[in-house]
Structure 1
Amino acid sequence: MTNFSVKKVAVLGAGVMGAQIAAHCVNAKVQVVLFDLPGKEGTPKNGIVLRAIDNLKKLSPAPLGDKEDASLIQVANYEDNLDQLADCDLIIEAIAERLDWKHDLYKKVAPHIGANAIFASNTSGLPIEQLAQGFDADLKARFCGVHFFNPPRYMHLVELIPTEATRPEILDQLETFLTSALGKGVVRAKDTPNFIANRVGIFGMLATIHEAEKFGLSVDVVDDLTGAKLGRAKSGTFRTADVVGLDTMGHVIKTMQDNLKDDPFFSVYKTPDILAKLIEKGALGQKTGGGFYKKVGKDIQRLDFATGEYVAGGGKAADIIARILKEKDPVKKFKALRESTNPQGQFLWAIFRDAFHYIAYHLDTIADNARDVDFAMRWGFGWKVGPFETWQAAGWKQIAEWVKQDIEEGKALTDAPLPAWVFDEKVAEKGVHTPEGSYSAKSNSYVPRSNLAVYERQAFRAPVLGSGDIDPSKAGTTVFEDNDVRLWHSGDDVLVISLKTKMHVIGQGVIDGLKRGLAEAEKNFKGLVIWGTDAAEGGAFSAGADLQSALPAFMAGGPKALDPLIRDLQNTFMAMKYSNVPVVAAVAGLALGGGCEMALHASRRVASIESYIGLVEVGVGLIPAGGGLKEAAVRAAKEAKGNDILQFLKTGFMNAATANVSKSALEAKAMGYLKEDDIIVFNPYELLHVAKVTARSMFDSGYRAPLQRPVTVTGRYGWATIRGQLVNMRDGGFISAHDYKLGDMIAEIVSGGDIDQGSVVSEQWLLDMERKAFLELLNNPKSQERIMGMLQTGKPVRN
């Protein structure tokens, strides 16, 4: 096996996508050079690229994990810097969707591309075969399509599209790099217009617009029906179009009109009149301030199709339909929609029927198998369940009969019949997803998953309904399980603790589970990994302390009733820190408050790039009391190495006092919540593998618990200095009196309290201060207002 390593990437085109792809390469520590046209005479030669990089810092959601890294993107133009392509291992072209422009650029760059480099186009739908015309045989064999979805850092899907001539190992190498280094879900698509996700997704949007007009439903009602209630992006259909940009949507539709003349669904690819009118007016959605929706003052108004005017929005699904959509059993749900007399129910059945009709008819030409269609829609359009999975769950045979009936009665979008394979005995019996693989209409067989070596790093791959995939919450051998935690292993010397509470909040049950896990790991294992079974599917690491479960004790015995619980939490986290075997926190998603403190006390952290870490207790009128402030003081003393500790304390203090949460794992490093040697993982499906390997290698390298060291603190000098700044903020009206009180308490703890500068204290001294302040705040009416506000509304109260 030869290691294919991508050390340097060139991105051609510094538009929205090109610049963001470059940013994500930098996130992944891949050297990247971003090209665009040279600036016009009298302007900086690399002005276009420099402006694009500057813009990356302003975009939200942020393309860069750490804004400081923008400076790591190298700038280049096609006139002076083509020689830089020679040592690039991967070159991604991401210019505007025009065949002639792309061909002109290819002529310019081809002579400069290295002999082993992969060349790829990030086109969203142009034929890859046509793009490769004019290449010599050698370059053609190294060329393919690589279609990222916007925004590239956050969207899991990348479609990989070969030409007839692309060498198979090129695709394997690229899939490996995209999966592990950039953290993507790769689907191999066929070279058909708009590939898989946009082909099915944009058809779905067009069908939705068509059916909405037919059933007389307004855009806000359609969005309420087709968003979170269907397990899809909460922006629904029309709001999604506004966000994507109506001109972009128009462009993708035009690709279908130009290239799919023989498709029986061709009439559906007509640009809807309403969309054409909006584009003509320059109302292109969010970027122009108006599309299907328009913000007027604080209100969001919707477009009325009949008059073309904007009117008050806020329409919702009818109660009866909302109730049907809550039905857990898909078989019952689809029967109810099919039989509904409500126009909203009929509309929903119609859009599902249209989608099922479409994917069945086109499966043999657009994708290798049904699984690829489902992954494309889940990862590219944010659907919780793919369209084939939905069909299979609702009863393959029955749905097929209903769709057939609708086609015969002229209710469908076209009279093209369902293909024969839909009624094939084995498909009717098993569905399209089975433990042996997913159905391929092309080869009339069930295709297993890719066995590329990179997937061995995924302990549990993305599950497909009906494939018999192992449920991570039941995997391996259970050592202990109750309502709060599960301790388990896979026979590989590492004990895993998975929290089972909602959002993995920490109450007495979790504390007891951690203690049990530590004892078990020290006795029988090489390490303990804290990992959430839903980490790859967007779950939280831990949203912090379980305030709800502590409420009864507080109501019965007041703050002092919680003293034993806080002590127990502190002692358990300290036992983790000083455990005889390594404890690795596998962090992904939210790690807030007590969840952040749990991670801070692990021996090492392995964090998904999408980790949002912070001490947020001030939001509920409290201060961190699980050792989070103690760790800030420990870190400052260590980093100061004899210099003025206060300079090093400010970050830790500000983060806690302002409830600052990292927007990525990279930012969490800059904030001090992750340490320099902590590992950042880009593919969340690899998190458990890397955490286990880390725990085992620490143990095998002779891990010993760290020795407890005394902590040098700034004492009253540091406390008074920080307090001075807080007074200014309070008197200037930047923070409330209660914010000032919380800030002052945090300052007192991180500086060690009313003692001399340079005093040396124990970790326990700082923990005792945390606990005392926390219990005092529980008695404070202002803090109680914040706690109750959060429990009732889920939003912080500012008082």
Structure 2
Amino acid sequence: MNRAIKKVAVLGSGIMGSRIACHFANIGVEVLLLDIVPRELDDAEKAKGLTLADTPVRNRIVNQAFESTLKAKPAALYDSTKAALVQLGNFDDDMSKIANYDWIIEVVVENLDIKKQVFETVEKFRKPGTLITSNTSGIPIHLMTDGRSEDFKKHFCGTHFFNPPRYLRLLEIIPTKDTDSEIVKFLMNYGDLFLGKETVLCKDTPAFIANRIGIYAIMSGMHTVEKMGLTVGEVDRMTGPIIGRAKSATFRTMDVVGLDTTVKVATNLYQGLPKDESRDTFQLPRIVQELYDKKWWGDKTKQGYFKKTVDENGKKEILELNLKTMEYGERTKAHYESLSKVKDIENVKERLPILVNAEDKAGEFYRATFYDMFKYCSYRIPEIADELYRIDQAVAAGFAWEIGPFETWDVLGVKETAQKMEAAGMKPADWVGEMIAAGHDRFYKFENGKKLYYDIPTQSYKVVPGTEGFVILEAYKENNIVFQNPGATVYDIGDGILNVEFHTKMNAIGGEVIEGINTAISMAEENFRGVVIGNEAQQFSAGANLAMLFMFASDQEYDEIDLMIRQFQQTMTRARFSDIPVISAPSGLALGGGCELSLHCDAIQAHAETYIGLVEVGVGLIPGGGGTKEFTLRASDQYATGDPELNVLQEYFMNIATAKVATSAAEAAGMHILKDSDRITLNRSRLLADAKARAIEMAEAGYTRPIERQDIKVHGRSSMAMFEAGVTGMLYGNYISEHDAKIAKKLAYVMSGGDLTSSTLVSEQYLLDLEREAFLSLTGEPKTLERIHSILFKGKPLRN
């Protein structure tokens, strides 16, 4: 049957339930969020004279839970207006409404008896054929269907979202023996295309895939930490972004998630896995058990491995737990030679071999934990997954790792690492040895633009299912590079489309990247039909190369700065006025120059989680790569007869003056960074493929080079007067500094079109010249140099 999901009912409004509801609202689905009716009045309700029969009382639990979610950071919604799609209610009064919903998701407390009671009620109202799933993280899925109808069982399975559902990409699909295969196929596809998830098919085994491996890795790490006598600070430095893991690393993650949650999952695994060869690792080490007994569970109890305090001067401070004395003190740092060696290496796959093979304490820690994890993963096939790629997908997406366990093992060398593991007493499962003996030395390889995994039963390589339509740049590195320099690579990704990938630090745009963009456009104009600018890194681009600008500005090399800005502007203009479509595919940070580049491409294919904006004011500048011009142009295009035009212009002005950053692609559309014709991709893995498809679509539609605009309306002195009055008021109110005011006035001058006596139509080049002059003048300001220095050398903004 053709199945469409227009309305979803979420049963249970706790942290997970409310956030799952929000994520469905993010994609435009109507949601019914229900929870239990309170058993007694609270003090506020008593004071108002309410009774248990009053609707505000009956919906109190769901109302408070949803309100709390809307206030939480990071935001659960792409756009706050999406909250209107969520209708609130309670199980007693509103359960009958589920008859009109396409998918019912149970997210109540992790108690089998309670879940069964909910499902019994659901079956009274559920329409046959409706999807029904549970978001359990540990209860066996097959136990939940006892006593349920055949239709219920056929349409039921586990759908395990990870918290927070908007940000963590994993969705585990866990069918039972009774689940219809078409239902499984539908959910796998829906999660991928519509929810933007890495949907992984799991077996109904304890903790499924991600938590089974992830919690094992955490507990293995805890035992190693205790054995080696490491500190909290040392471990979090070694287990965060430096090895491609989340910034919260190990101990901060445990504080955020809640130590009680980690302990509960680990204990359940120990009790539920009597035949697991590494079962003892799930036993709690002292450094976990003591905190659990003290109920120092992290953020929820106000202290855990870290504790926030306020000193005698009122300054907030974060203290770190001493794992030996169990007392709080100053935070510690890891000072190991290997960590210093890799600090300037951007690619995690290049960092890992250096770290793991290092002859210092960090290397010892990495070898102990990585080798143990590799061994454990090898023994989990086929217990929790028949194919190794499922383990990598689940762990990477569920725990925000850049690469999964088997991919990490590949980076270190399969055969060499297996030998070292065996020497260390951590011999992997027999199939690994058989694979090596058969002449296969990788778990993954790339052929003809496809990613292949090693299939254990057939001892051969197969395409990773679901990735057939992806554009995976690594798969093109061997035969499809058409241009390369130290800062950029241009790939032929097929069908007449080139892709420009940056690989500078934070993908900053400097001379090499500029060369890569221009070369790709020139090549495409001659022999191809379109260009995509995008990558597979966490960030699209953090902006222009500030280090180079700072060097020139410090030496007062203003001619060099002028040349740099001209080249930047010309490249942005080239992206717009070329003979082929140029598509930007931003994801993660697209700030400053990264935003300006996207603004000038023919179209943007943005990932939903794109954080984009013009932030140059934070370093004492205005956007100098066409961003100021482009916002002025877009404001002009928005003017309509009878509209207060200065109010429209002021909105664009404030977005630059306050360095406002959209925290989602949807919010970027509201800020007019994304046009109506631009598109959003929910699944990060599909972003480049979608951008490529857009380039092909535009080329086949008969792409025509745009014409430079000569009709941009600017308001001269009238808009400058308005802006300067506002800036002066902010200055006198101590909301901004004198340097902020100076920058804002420079910005106002450009967006007003200069010192014109009346409204006038001007060209793009006219505004670019004003923009460049203003930018250049600000590079000569000492306070601007102080701001740039703070960002470059201290990693934080300075408001002087």
Match of 2:263 among 246, 250, 254: 250
For 1:208, the aligned partner's letter is: G
Is the Cα contact below 8 Å between 2:226 and 2:287 reproduced in 1?
no
Q: 2-side partners of 1:321 and 1:756: how far apart? A: 59
TM-score by length of 2: 0.88
**Could you tell me which residue of structure 1 aligns to residue 302 of structure 2?**
289
For residues 121-132 of structure 1, what are the structure 2 equivalents within 5 Å? 121-132=134-145
Q: Secondary structure at the match of 1:497?
A: strand
Please state how far the C-alpha of 1:137 moved relative to its aligned partner: 2.0
Q: What is the CA deviation profile of residues 391-433 of structure 1, one whole-angstrom value per residue up to 9, with x for unaligned ones?
A: 45545455545555655xxxx7xxxx86443433656742571
Please state how far the C-alpha of 1:313 moved relative to its aligned partner: 3.2
Match of 1:371 among 377, 381, 389: 389
**Could you tell me which residue of structure 1 aligns to residue 77 of structure 2?**
64
For residues 301-320 of structure 1, what are the structure 2 equivalents within 5 Å? 301-316=319-334, 318-319=336-337
Match of 2:496 among 489, 493, 503: 493
Deviates more, 1:100-109 or 1:182-191: 182-191
The 1:345/1:570 distance shift into structure 2, 3 A limit, reads closer
**Could you tell me which residue of structure 1 aligns to residue 110 of structure 2?**
97
Aligned positions, number: 770
Asked whether 1:180 is paired with 2:184, we answer no
Q: 2-side partners of 1:321 and 1:687: how far apart? A: 32
Q: 1-side partners of 2:542 and 2:354: how far apart? A: 35
Please state how far the C-alpha of 1:705 moved relative to its aligned partner: 4.2
Asked whether 1:635 is paired with 2:634, we answer yes
Q: 1-side partners of 2:770 and 2:88: how far apart? A: 51
**Could you tell me which residue of structure 2 aligns to residue 591 of structure 1?**
590
For residues 712-751 of structure 1, what are the structure 2 equivalents within 5 Å? 712-751=713-752
The 1:594/1:345 distance shift into structure 2, 3 A limit, reads closer
**Could you tell me which residue of structure 1 aligns to residue 433 of structure 2?**
423
Q: 1-side partners of 2:517 and 2:760: how far apart? A: 33
Please state how far the C-alpha of 1:88 moved relative to its aligned partner: 2.9
For 2:471, the aligned partner's letter is: A
Is the Cα contact below 8 Å between 2:266 and 2:282 reproduced in 1?
yes
For 2:281, the aligned partner's letter is: V
Q: 1-side partners of 2:544 and 2:91: how far apart? A: 55
For residues 596-611 of structure 1, what are the structure 2 equivalents within 5 Å? 596-611=595-610
Q: Secondary structure at the match of 2:662?
A: coil
The 1:299/1:500 distance shift into structure 2, 3 A limit, reads closer
Asked whether 1:780 is paired with 2:781, we answer yes
**Could you tell me which residue of structure 1 aligns to residue 318 of structure 2?**
300
Match of 2:475 among 468, 471, 474: 471
Is the Cα contact below 8 Å between 1:718 and 1:757 reproduced in 2?
no
Is the Cα contact below 8 Å between 1:242 and 1:293 reproduced in 2?
yes
Please state how far the C-alpha of 1:648 moved relative to its aligned partner: 0.9
Please state how far the C-alpha of 1:586 moved relative to its aligned partner: 1.5
Q: Secondary structure at the match of 2:372?
A: helix
Is the Cα contact below 8 Å between 1:477 and 1:490 reproduced in 2?
no
% same residue: 39
For residues 463-612 of structure 1, what are the structure 2 equivalents within 5 Å? 470-473=474-477, 476=480, 478=482, 480-532=483-535, 534=536, 537-540=537-540, 542-550=541-549, 558-612=557-611
Asked whether 1:358 is paired with 2:376, we answer yes
Q: Secondary structure at the match of 2:382?
A: helix
**Could you tell me which residue of structure 1 aligns to residue 233 of structure 2?**
220
For 1:24, the aligned partner's letter is: H
Q: What is the CA deviation profile of residues 143-171 of structure 1, one whole-angstrom value per residue up to 9, with x for unaligned ones?
A: 11111112111112222111112222211
Is the Cα contact below 8 Å between 2:356 and 2:363 reproduced in 1?
no
Q: What is the CA deviation profile of residues 233-259 of structure 1, one whole-angstrom value per residue up to 9, with x for unaligned ones?
A: 343322221111012112212321442
Deviates more, 1:777-786 or 1:314-323: 314-323
Please state how far the C-alpha of 1:557 moved relative to its aligned partner: 6.9
Q: 2-side partners of 1:592 and 1:45: how far apart? A: 46
Match of 2:462 among 418, 438, 448: 448
Q: 2-side partners of 1:546 and 1:140: how far apart? A: 57
Deviates more, 1:120-129 or 1:491-500: 491-500
Deviates more, 1:32-41 or 1:98-107: 32-41
Q: Secondary structure at the match of 1:301?
A: strand
Q: What is the CA deviation profile of residues 206-249 of structure 1, one whole-angstrom value per residue up to 9, with x for unaligned ones?
A: 22222333333333333334334444334332222111101211
Q: What is the CA deviation profile of residues 575-613 of structure 1, one whole-angstrom value per residue up to 9, with x for unaligned ones?
A: 433444432211222222222111111222110112111
Is the Cα contact below 8 Å between 2:550 and 2:785 reproduced in 1?
no
For 2:398, the aligned partner's letter is: G
Is the Cα contact below 8 Å between 1:56 and 1:70 reproduced in 2?
no
Please state how far the C-alpha of 1:183 moved relative to its aligned partner: 1.4
The 1:458/1:3 distance shift into structure 2, 3 A limit, reads farther
Is the Cα contact below 8 Å between 1:123 and 1:147 reproduced in 2?
yes
Please state how far the C-alpha of 1:260 moved relative to its aligned partner: 2.0
Q: 2-side partners of 1:545 and 1:102: how far apart? A: 53
Please state how far the C-alpha of 1:741 moved relative to its aligned partner: 0.6
**Could you tell me which residue of structure 1 aligns to residue 44 of structure 2?**
none
Q: Secondary structure at the match of 1:187?
A: strand
Deviates more, 1:496-505 or 1:637-646: 496-505
The 1:771/1:451 distance shift into structure 2, 3 A limit, reads same
Is the Cα contact below 8 Å between 2:710 and 2:762 reproduced in 1?
no
Is the Cα contact below 8 Å between 1:284 and 1:291 reproduced in 2?
yes
Q: 1-side partners of 2:206 and 2:494: how far apart? A: 47
Q: What is the CA deviation profile of residues 495-550 of structure 1, one whole-angstrom value per residue up to 9, with x for unaligned ones?
A: 43334544333334444544444444445444332223x2xx4132x332223345
Please state how far the C-alpha of 1:39 moved relative to its aligned partner: 4.9
For residues 25-424 of structure 1, what are the structure 2 equivalents within 5 Å? 25-39=24-38, 41=52, 42=54, 43-297=56-310, 298-316=316-334, 318-319=336-337, 346-397=364-415, 399-400=417-418, 403-404=421-422, 407=425, 419-424=429-434
Q: What is the CA deviation profile of residues 772-792 of structure 1, one whole-angstrom value per residue up to 9, with x for unaligned ones?
A: 211221222222332333333
The 1:277/1:676 distance shift into structure 2, 3 A limit, reads same
Asked whether 1:680 is paired with 2:680, we answer yes
For 1:599, the aligned partner's letter is: S
The runs of 5 or more residues in structure 1 that have no matched partner are 462-469
For 2:711, the aligned partner's letter is: P
The 1:303/1:510 distance shift into structure 2, 3 A limit, reads closer
Q: 2-side partners of 1:218 and 1:485: how far apart? A: 39
**Could you tell me which residue of structure 2 aligns to residue 433 of structure 1?**
443
Q: What is the CA deviation profile of residues 364-415 of structure 1, one whole-angstrom value per residue up to 9, with x for unaligned ones?
A: 21222222222222222233343334445545455545555655xxxx7xxx
Q: 1-side partners of 2:156 and 2:26: how far apart? A: 25
Deviates more, 1:670-679 or 1:47-56: 47-56
Please state how far the C-alpha of 1:123 moved relative to its aligned partner: 1.0
Task: Find runs of 4+ consecutive structure 1 residues off by over 6 angstroms.
Answer: 320-327, 329-333
Please state how far the C-alpha of 1:106 moved relative to its aligned partner: 0.7
TM-score by length of 1: 0.88
The 1:606/1:394 distance shift into structure 2, 3 A limit, reads closer
Is the Cα contact below 8 Å between 1:8 and 1:32 reproduced in 2?
yes
For 2:493, the aligned partner's letter is: S
Q: Secondary structure at the match of 1:430?
A: coil
For residues 638-649 of structure 1, what are the structure 2 equivalents within 5 Å? 638-642=637-641, 643-649=643-649
The 1:308/1:564 distance shift into structure 2, 3 A limit, reads closer
Is the Cα contact below 8 Å between 1:189 and 1:368 reproduced in 2?
no
The runs of 5 or more residues in structure 2 that have no matched partner are 40-51, 311-315, 446-450
**Could you tell me which residue of structure 2 aligns to residue 798 of structure 1?**
799
The 1:317/1:121 distance shift into structure 2, 3 A limit, reads farther
For 1:682, the aligned partner's letter is: L
